[in-house]
């Protein structure tokens, strides 16, 4: 027995293993074992029945309790199957040994993965403070001093003003002082417009949101998908606007760090639960339609020589570093997204201008021009988070990438590549476990990527602080990619910036009610509807007897999803059409949904006026889609031909009848990029 066990035939090499049908033997046993209804694990039952080892069991935390020994397996087969020939006994022992070794390899690999994950978590935990300090908005001593001085000055004026009013109206003729108490409580602007109604409580009075004091877990991380650090506060533009979304007490970093630590623990818990479930399924303790692999599948599709070599040469420290770097990149991505940072790409540019501006050394770290899109230039920026007067600014932490093992060029290139593949839809780094062979953290996905927008409406500025061009739109003319980008930026439905459903007013009102609608001004009618109404999830006010009220003259967030069915139906009906054809048919009333839109919408909405803040000139507005369609149809190129079938609502017209003709037939949507796999 000793000689046979050590003569090399038990070695797990292809030349040996192909001589015995060991996988089929195990599979027959596995089928019976899984159907038996036993609550014991497969490893424990196999150890007891096939190895004669009552203490052989495997779990992901520690691997297997013992490593199979060829001699002990031979001895058990020899004693339990005395009627077999010597040759059959050896073959049976080989089959059982290799099956048992498969358990040992699989669960040893899982145990190593667990240790790498835990050390990767420790690696990232030690970097969280640095990530927060480097890639989020920070207190500025000078800005805070100016804010403190401004508030002190206003408080003094307020105090003296109220004292004066009390003295003047304290006479007998003014015994009813209830209005004075209301004045004190409301703090209305009484000093020639210098004091605004929001100066003391910031936006908390208006939106019920200012600063995330409570624990964020229940709000944003149940089944975490994309890390959503609690949204930054917003600041008043006239008094403390220079602080740009910072509470200004020095405590912002503390809650961000606590928030990040909580998210990390949630993410790791999610990883470990998924990993544990996979190995419990392999061990026969659970089942799931999402993971149908069994141990026999692993045996039939494995290179054991490579697996054993990997176990022999594993470098836990290196693996932990790779895991940690992946997670670090993800956390940096999330921190930047939470601070309204992104990569904005302007498409449809003159290629010569792209080359010239991309070669400008001043913007070497800020710009990226993809070779496959010569008419497109990208730039990394952030957007301010003020009550009003928002604008772009340089990317936070641009000079800190190198410190954390990244480069701006790498980040921009990876962001572009990933956008072309998934369009901002892929979020948290997923733990990939293929058949239980190996666990990898999105091995092919870049770890640090920015939310990316590609559109003709994007304007790349050489002076970001003067740019109010937030990248509201991205992708094709149907606006299918807008929502995923806005979600990444914390501006999607359900986020604090989108607004409180009770008050019907977005915290980021200037972006959603001013900047984004203005950027959609030049889009064709249906294109504008798809991007602005469907993509941004905004609601156009209806016709009402109260049309004179300001709240009925601005776009508001569509909390209830009133437009969802209409958007889905129109997108489905125009999916096969080019942009201009779809717009013409929409404007001609070819779709019932279009008629509903025309019947509902009030004539216009303001894009420079906001009700609760009472600011804006009221000079800028957008006409509703019915009025806009009249102008659009009247200004179609002469070369464009309208088929009679359209006028008759002939939906059965052949496809050729729905195509435009002439030199103006190219797309005029928001983006010009081409997804992988498109024809």
Which of 324, 318, 339, 268 has the alpha carbon at shortest distance from 126?
324
Q: State whether 553 and 661 are in the same domain.
A: yes
Instruction: Name the 3-class secondary structure at 556.
Output: strand
Q: Is residue 97 over pLDDT 80?
A: yes
Higher pLDDT residue, 313 or 655?
313
What distance in Å separates the CA atoms of residue 493 and residue 533, rounded to the nearest whole number?
Answer: 12
Same-domain pairing of 593 and 652: yes
Please tell me whether residues 525 and 671 are part of one structural domain.
yes
Burial of 665 (0-12, 13-18, 19+ CB in 10 A): middle
Residue 367, phi then psi, degrees to nearest 5: -120, 150
The answer to the question of residue 121 being in a domain is no
Confidence of residue 573 (pLDDT cuts 50, 70, 90): very high
Mean pLDDT of 339-349: 95
- Of the three residues 222, 249, 276, the one that is the final residue of a domain is 249
Radius of gyration of the chain (CA): 33
Q: 343's torsion region: left (phi>0), alpha (psi -120 to 50) or beta?
A: beta
Nearest to 377 by CA among 392, 367, 391: 367
Domain-ending residue, one of 249, 282, 317: 249
Indicate the DSSP class of residue 669: S
Q: Exposed/middle/buried for 519, CB within 10 Å: 0-12, 13-18, 19+?
A: buried
Q: Supply the mean pLDDT for the chain.
A: 77
Mean pLDDT along residues 95-120: 89
Asked if residue 385 and residue 454 are part of one domain, the reply reads yes
Say what the pLDDT of residue 565 is: 96
pLDDT recorded at residue 159: 54
Shared-domain flag, residues 600 and 553:
yes
Half-sphere exposure of 227 toward its Cβ, with a 13 Å CA cutoff? 32
Q: Are 453 and 366 members of one domain?
A: yes
Same domain, 438 and 546: no
Domain that holds residue 380: 340-471
The 3-class secondary structure across 619-665, one letter per residue, is CCEEECHHHHHHHHHHCCCCCCCCCHHHHCCCCCCCHHHHCCCCCCC
Select from 660, 664, 673, 665 the least CA-distant residue to 476: 673
Q: Is 7 in the same domain as 151?
A: no
Q: Is residue 270 assigned to a domain?
A: no
CA quadruple 445, 345, 224, 281: dihedral, nearest 10: -30
Q: What is the mean pLDDT of residues 638-652?
A: 56
Q: Which residues are paired to 505 by β-bridges?
A: 500
Q: Is 516:470 a contact under the CB 8 Å cutoff?
A: yes
Q: Given the structure tokens 């040759």, which residue do they identify? A: 87
515: its two tokens = 């900047």
Residue 449: inside a domain? yes
- As a whole number of angstroms, the distance between CA 142 and CA 153 comes to 17
Of the given ranges (198-202, 298-302, 368-372, 471-475), which has the lowest mean pLDDT?
198-202
Report how far residue 359's alpha carbon sits from residue 364's, in angstroms, rounded to the nearest whole number: 7
pLDDT digits (tens, 9 = 90+) for 159-185: 545 455 455 445 444 455 555 555 444
* CA quadruple 249, 394, 327, 432: dihedral sign: positive
Domain boundary among 84, 100, 116: 116
Question: Residues 65, 103: one domain?
Answer: yes
**What whole-number distance in Å separates Cα of residue 415 and Cα of residue 417?**
6
């Amino acid at each position: 027995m000793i000689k046979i066990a050590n003569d090399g035939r038990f070695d797990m090499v292809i030349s040996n293993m192909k001589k015995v049908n060991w996988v089929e033997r195990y599979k027959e046993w596995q089928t019976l074992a899984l159907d038996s209804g036993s609550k014991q694990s497969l490893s424990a039952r196999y150890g007891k029945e096939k190895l004669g080892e009552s203490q052989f069991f495997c779990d992901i935390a520690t691997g297997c309790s013992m490593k199979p020994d060829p001699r002990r397996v031979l001895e058990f087969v020899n004693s339990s199957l005395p009627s077999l020939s010597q040759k059959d006994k050896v073959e049976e022992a080989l089959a059982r040994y290799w099956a048992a070794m498969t358990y040992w390899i699989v669960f040893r690999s899982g145990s190593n993965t667990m240790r790498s994950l835990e050390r990767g978590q420790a690696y990232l935990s030690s970097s969280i403070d640095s990530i927060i300090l480097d890639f989020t908005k920070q207190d500025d001593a000078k800005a805070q001093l100016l804010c403190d001085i401004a508030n002190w000055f206003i408080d003094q004026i307020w105090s003296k003003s109220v004292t004066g009013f009390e003295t003047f109206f304290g006479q007998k003729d003014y015994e009813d002082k209830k209005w004075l108490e209301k004045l004190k409580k409301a703090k209305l602007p009484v000093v020639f417009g210098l004091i605004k109604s929001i100066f003391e409580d910031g936006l908390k009075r208006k939106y019920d949101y200012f600063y995330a004091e409570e624990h964020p877990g229940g709000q944003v991380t149940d089944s975490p998908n994309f890390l959503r650090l609690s949204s930054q506060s917003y600041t008043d533009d006239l008094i403390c606007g220079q602080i740009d979304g910072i509470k200004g007490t020095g405590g912002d970093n503390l809650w961000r760090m606590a928030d990040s630590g909580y998210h990390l623990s949630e993410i790791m818990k999610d990883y470990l639960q998924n990993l544990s479930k996979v190995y419990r399924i392999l061990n026969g303790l659970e089942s799931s339609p999402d993971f149908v692999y069994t141990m026999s599948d692993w045996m039939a599709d494995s290179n054991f020589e490579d697996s054993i070599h990997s176990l022999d040469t594993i470098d836990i420290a290196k693996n932990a570093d790779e895991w940690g770097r992946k997670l670090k990149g993800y956390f940096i991505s999330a921190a930047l997204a939470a601070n309204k940072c992104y990569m904005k790409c302007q498409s449809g540019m003159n290629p010569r201008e792209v080359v010239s501006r991309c070669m400008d050394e001043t913007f070497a770290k800020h710009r990226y021009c993809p070779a496959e899109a010569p008419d497109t230039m990208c730039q990394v920026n952030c957007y301010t988070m003020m009550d009003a007067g928002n604008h772009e600014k340089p990317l936070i932490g641009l000079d800190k990438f190198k410190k954390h093992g990244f480069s701006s060029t790498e980040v921009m290139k990876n962001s572009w590549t990933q956008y072309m593949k998934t369009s901002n839809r892929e979020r948290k780094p997923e733990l990939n476990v293929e058949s239980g062979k190996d666990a990898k953290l999105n091995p092919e996905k870049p770890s640090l990527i920015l939310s990316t927008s590609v559109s003709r409406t994007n304007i790349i500025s050489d002076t970001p602080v003067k740019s109010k061009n937030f990248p509201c739109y991205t992708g094709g003319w149907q606006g299918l990619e807008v929502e995923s980008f806005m979600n990444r930026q914390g501006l999607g439905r359900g986020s604090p910036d989108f607004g409180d459903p009770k008050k019907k007013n977005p915290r980021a009102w200037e972006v959603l009610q001013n900047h984004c609608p203005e950027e959609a001004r030049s889009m064709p009618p249906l294109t504008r509807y798809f991007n602005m109404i469907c993509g941004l999830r905004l609601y156009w006010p209806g016709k009402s007897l109260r049309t004179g009220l300001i709240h009925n003259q601005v776009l508001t967030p569509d909390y209830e999803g009133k437009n969802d069915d209409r958007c889905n139906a129109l997108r489905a009906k125009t999916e096969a059409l080019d942009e201009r054809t779809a717009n013409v048919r929409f404007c001609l009333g070819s779709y019932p949904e279009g008629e509903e839109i025309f019947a509902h919408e009030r004539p216009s909405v303001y894009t420079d006026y906001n009700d609760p803040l009472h600011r804006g000139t009221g000079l800028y507005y957008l006409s509703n889609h019915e009025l806009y369609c009249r102008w659009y149809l009247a200004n179609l190129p002469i070369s464009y031909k309208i088929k009679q079938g359209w006028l008759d609502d002939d939906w059965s017209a052949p496809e050729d009848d729905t195509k435009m003709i002439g030199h103006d037939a190219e797309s005029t949507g928001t983006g010009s990029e081409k997804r992988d796999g498109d024809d």
